[in-house]
Amino acid sequence: MITGASSGIGREISAEFARLGYRTFLTGRDEARLNEVALELGKKFGTESYVQCADLANGNDREKLVEKAAELAPNVLVNNAGFGVKGVFSETSLSAELDMIEVQIAAMLALTKAVLPGMKIRKEGLILNVASVYSFSPVPQQAAYAAAKSFIFSFSTSLRDELKADGIMVSVLAPGITQTEFRARAGIPDMKDSGMSACEVARIGVGQALKGKPLIVPGWQNKLFVFLVRHFPVDLSIALINLINSKRGVRTKT
């Protein structure tokens, strides 16, 4: 089961699992694109795909998907769905930020809780939660987004320890700038051809998650960034973030 499967990293993660012979359950907001992905995976890899359209910010949609997750009891759950909100917090949309938290935190918690009973019975399973390199540092002008990603990393790391005796693996994928629609939706200027391809991120993420790696940071630049912000004092980490974002056209206020 893969959330946010209609585009970007989610779509490529779906393709990677299909390539490995997994049947896939695809969910996202765009039913037409989900059906397109399912058809493509069937033609390319000969695997079955199932589709359920759901807006994870909508409580009714989320509840129906959680019920389906409990019914299907998948071997693998990928909590990938998410979006960003850019801007000074005092000026951004509270509604958009609350929706973001519903998608990235509430849905992740509910779906994870729903699939765990089946995984515990089978004594096997994989949960792959997609966070970000921003999980490890405060990020001015994306304050709520970075905080949500920090939650995902902390929760996943704790859960991994809780489940290790049950044979269930929990991994966190923390990509950096990736060539997807994410930045356009968040209102962040797009730098053509910058960052890793979604296909490469998915290949690394799925491959290392299946090997049981707890934290997966694809690409040497992202690894360097994570190393620096985890070891720098907070003020220096924020200065580095502001410098990087200024190069990307994301202005910061002082």
Half-sphere exposure of 203 (CA within 13 A, CB side): 6
Name the token pair of 154.
């902390």
CA gap 137, 187 in Å, rounded? 21
**Ramachandran area for residue 216 (φ above 0: left; ψ -120 to 50: alpha; else beta):** beta
Half-sphere exposure of 200 (CA within 13 A, CB side): 13
**Three-state SS for 52?**
strand
Task: Give yes or no: 145 in active site.
Answer: yes
Spot the catalytic one: 22, 50, 134, 145.
145
Which positions are annotated as active-site residues? Answer: 145
